[in-house]
Amino acid sequence: MINRQFLYSICFFFLVSSYSCSSQRKGQIKPLNAEIDSAPNIVWIVAEDMSANIAAFGDSTISTPILDQLAKEGVKYNNVYTPSPVCSPARSALITGMYPTALGTHNMRTGPWWDGVPSPARLERYERFTPKGVIAYEAVPPPKVKMFTEILRKSGYYTSNNSKEDYQFLKTATAWDACDDDADWRGRKSDQPFFSVFNLFATHESQIWERAEDNLLVDKDLEVPVPAYLPDTKISRRDIRRMYSNIVEMDKQVGDILDKLEADGLLDNTIIMWYTDHGGPFPRQKRSLHDSGIKVPMIIRHPDKQLVGTEDNRMISFVDFAPTILSLVGIKPPEYMQGKAFLGDFKREQEPKYIYAATDRFDKFYDQARAVRDKRFKYIKYYRPEIPIFFPIGYRENMAMMKELHRLREKDSLTEIQKIWFKPTKPSEVLYDTEKDPHEVVNLAGNPEYREMLLELREENAVFVKSIDDLGFINEKELIEKFWPNGIQPQTEQPIIDIDNNNIVSISCETNGATIGYRLNASPTVGSTDSWKIYSGEFQIKNGDVIEVVAHRIGFQPSTVKTVQHSRSKN
């Protein structure tokens, strides 16, 4: 096994030139098909709050040997976009294959639900940072919508999440086999295929200020690029070095996961997907519809070295991820998913011409903007041009760079590009040529040379928001009333358990869209953390068996757990 700590000590002094992820990796490659005994394992590695700031995507400021080698062994995807430039709405798209504005998960955030029942402290914080009268609520998607991991589990997959959820609704009891800080594939049955998610927090926005005084993993005088929309000052460069240092740490964490797969003899029959949940951590990145907020890097390494060392320039959205995972394992994606698979047995025949993104409420601040982008041009429609683009988001105000922007603004020392963000009003629409203007600072909407493109993307935006019945056009209090009548969360009905004279169990629930989970003889005691099996049809039990049953529809309160000990003898 390669000593990665030694590797990183070398990297610290900028002496690393290459690293082989493939050395000492052996194992039988399994084909990608629908047979469960030969289905691929899949691992998602998700870095938070990060743009394409690694050498594999053209930024050679630092060395990230693990990701660089992963890219050499896999496929680099150069046109991947999130439909929302912030965590919770983006993750709701990943887990459902649907747009946040179609689900009602578009406001950031709807409640402190990201890892279970909220504590009083979280509720208090939510109330402080939320508009008056907006209660904490879970979004309630249409009844047919499922967390796609339920579909995987029904087909025989083991699923784990380590450990962030943050979907704007609580996970269903049946979504994961394991979901905690230690969750991985090791709890599965022998030879059971798995889908495992790892969320890497090292690059999160908060780590810019919370780790500001920590030792850097890059040189303290490292020359760093400063985007034109950010101030090029000592304070800004210090925060940017912190960002790169955090990326170095994240790269090491990716290596740790690959080491674990290798140690278990699984690396060479596992599809590795590394990507980030939205753009970078700095002002006008996270929460922004510019590419700095919605464009993300992605690398996919196939177990049989398919497409090794290649690049893919197709337009891909997060809504495409769920159907793609299902397609890769041979499951036809359900019709309700708005995304389309870009790999696997059911991959789409044609690349989409456009991708779409949206922003709405952030904390107490309401805005509404929609973006449409082809491979070159970006159109943004601002539905509230009378207010600034900038909002003083309390969380972001902790950042030294944000304070620096305020300081320079008060001195009237910002550049003309930096001033755009702070203007008291904004245009109703903007058009950018992202090829000539990658930072999106030159608005072409009034330029007659680009009139045709403006009209095309303007019309496409209007058609799209209508086609998905965009819920951002509903006042949030009205939306809450739609989801939770009279402010009361709907309740999943109690499951109905029937056991016939042949000890055959059938279970039903009258709540439309509810998934039913059951446990049989959970150990060591009833009510343990044994994962719930998804009920998909009748099954037989024995006399004395104890069965637990729960029903849960996304956005509803789950039913209480119903427990029955079977005591009927077979006739």
Q: Distance (Å, rounded) from C-alpha 183 to C-alpha 198?
A: 9
Give yes or no for residue 34 having a pLDDT over 80: no
User: pLDDT value at position 156?
Assistant: 96
User: pLDDT value at position 8?
Assistant: 38
Mean pLDDT within 54-70: 97
Q: Distance (Å, rounded) from C-alpha 231 to C-alpha 335?
A: 47
Mean pLDDT within 326-331: 97
Q: Among residues of the chain, what percentage have pLDDT more than 70?
A: 91
Q: How far is CA 67 from the centre of its chain?
A: 19
User: pLDDT value at position 529?
Assistant: 56
Residue 493 contacts by C-beta under 8 Å, 6 or more apart in sequence? 509, 510, 511, 514, 551, 559
Who has greater pLDDT, 128 or 224? 224
pTM of structure: 0.92
Mean pLDDT within 268-288: 97
User: pLDDT value at position 23?
Assistant: 30
Considering the chain, tell me which residue range(s) the CATH 2.60.40 domain(s) occupy: 496-565
User: pLDDT value at position 12?
Assistant: 33
Three-state DSSP string of 102-113 = HHCCCCECCCCC
User: pLDDT value at position 525?
Assistant: 54
Q: Among residues of the chain, what percentage have pLDDT more than 90?
A: 85
> Residue 116: which pLDDT band, with cuts at 50, 70 and 90?
low
Considering the chain, tell me which residue range(s) the CATH 3.40.720.10 domain(s) occupy: 4-24+36-359
CA torsion through residues 332, 333, 334, 339, sign: negative
Residues designated catalytic: 87
User: pLDDT value at position 567?
Assistant: 86
User: pLDDT value at position 219?
Assistant: 96
C-beta atoms surrounding 220 within 10 Å: 9
Mean pLDDT within 74-99: 98
Q: Distance (Å, rounded) from C-alpha 459 to C-alpha 457?
A: 5
Q: Distance (Å, rounded) from C-alpha 5 to C-alpha 3?
A: 6
Of the candidate CATH numbers 1.10.540, 3.30.1120, 3.40.50, 3.30.70, the domain formed by 369-487 belongs to 3.30.1120
Considering the chain, tell me which residue range(s) the CATH 3.30.1120 domain(s) occupy: 369-487
Q: Distance (Å, rounded) from C-alpha 280 to C-alpha 282?
A: 6
User: pLDDT value at position 313?
Assistant: 97
User: What are the tens digits of pLDDT across the range 165-182?
Assistant: 899 999 999 999 999 999
Give yes or no for residue 147 having a pLDDT over 60: yes
User: pLDDT value at position 109?
Assistant: 87
Provide the 3-class DSSP secondary structure of residue 397.
Answer: helix
For the domain spanning 4-24+36-359, the CATH number is 3.40.720.10
Q: Distance (Å, rounded) from C-alpha 222 to C-alpha 295?
A: 25
Going by C-alpha positions, the residue among 468, 436, 443, 463 that lies closest to residue 385 is: 443
Q: Which strands, in side-by-side order, build the sheet including 377-382? A: 355-359, 369-373, 377-382, 429-433
The answer to whether domain 496-565 has CATH 2.40.50 is: no
Give yes or no for residue 19 having a pLDDT over 90: no
Residue 474 contacts by C-beta under 8 Å, 6 or more apart in sequence? 482
Q: Distance (Å, rounded) from C-alpha 342 to C-alpha 339?
A: 9
Phi, psi of 313 (to 5 degrees): -105, 10
In 52-168, alpha helices (H): 65-73, 87-96, 100-103, 120-128, 148-154
> Residue 125: which pLDDT band, with cuts at 50, 70 and 90?
confident
Q: Which of 13-17, 258-262, 285-289, 393-397 has the lowest mean pLDDT?
A: 13-17
User: What are the tens digits of pLDDT across the range 290-299?
Assistant: 999 999 999 9
Give yes or no for residue 10 having a pLDDT over 70: no
User: Tokens standing for 256?
Assistant: 């740790």
Q: Distance (Å, rounded) from C-alpha 178 to C-alpha 181?
A: 9
Q: Distance (Å, rounded) from C-alpha 212 to C-alpha 248?
A: 15
Q: How far is CA 330 from CA 35, 38, 40, 96, in A?
A: 8, 11, 10, 18
Give yes or no for residue 517 having a pLDDT over 50: yes
* DSSP string for 197-239: EEEE-TTSTHHHHHTTTSPPSS-TT------TTS--SHHHHHH
